[in-house]
A and B are shown apart, each in its own frame.
Chain A
Amino acid sequence: MSEAAVANPGAQSKSEVNFERLYRSSRDDVYAYAAGLLRDRAAAEDVTAAAFERAYRKRSRFDAKRGSARAWLFGIVRNAALDELRRRGRQAELSTDPVDAASVAAPDRDRHELRLLLDAALAKLEAGERELVALKFFAGLSNGEIADVVGISPSNVGTRLNRTMDKLREACDGSF
């Protein structure tokens, strides 16, 4: 969704975000990012709900001059997720929904194995690298938006992402 569509064009305030629209366009992305970073679905749900509530309460503080609404929202989500990480005392455990391999149909079995391989590779990444992957491929943010969220330059985002993708590919034993 375009930024112009997300930002409310002056109903109450020139820069006040249209929260309803932002929520609808970002709910699943926010959850995906939180789950990708935290690797805990229950915690990701908590973080997603808390982040949206925090964003709702702070919506009048959004300033379009300082970045896009999505970058602003993901900044809030990131803080909530990092607070959650801090609370859990570095124990970010993977708790994805267990899948019985036998129940998976034969044509999908390869795909399922590939998924498991990818999950394992993601788990080996550092949290900072996993965060970049989550922002890029789970949340669908551009490099510029990621740069705003993480607080580094867009070119640095690109470099780190490339390096992270190489790591992932190596960790997947050449499956990609």
Chain B
Amino acid sequence: MGAPRRLGRALLGGVLRMAPRESRDWAGAMLGELDFIEGEWAALFWALGSMTAVVRHAAGGWRAWLNRRSQQEEGMNTTGKRALGVGLGMLSALALVGCAFAVLRILGILFPGLEHSPWAYWLAVMAIPETIFVAATVMLWRKKGPLAAGILATGLVMALHVAVHLTLHW
């Protein structure tokens, strides 16, 4: 199996693992076809197209879920709305960290050895996400306070985790 097909398999496999339950069957179907595709680059392009299809399918599900939530939200009190905002902020921040891990894995496949470099790890998983968290918190604080608080809380927990790690190991 050549590198383009391997990369395609890794990318689509990653999407399959992260996809919601209703999209997982389809992602598996597209992944299953990869071994039958003639040509290494054709297999990579198949995987890239498939990723788009899965993300669009999942996005449809998330849109429906958000619509249902916003309908429920209308009947909620202020505390409920704030709690929901904080929860969504935390989820978004965790999704960003998940994406950072995925990018690091992809870079590790493309450039073997990079994944084990501590600098690449700190940059991809800590420095960049933390910078985005701070920027998002500042931008959202006035208009979407609870969402910003959720993002900030996740960023603080991550920073605390790193501080504890550094204290114990260095």
Partners in one complex: no
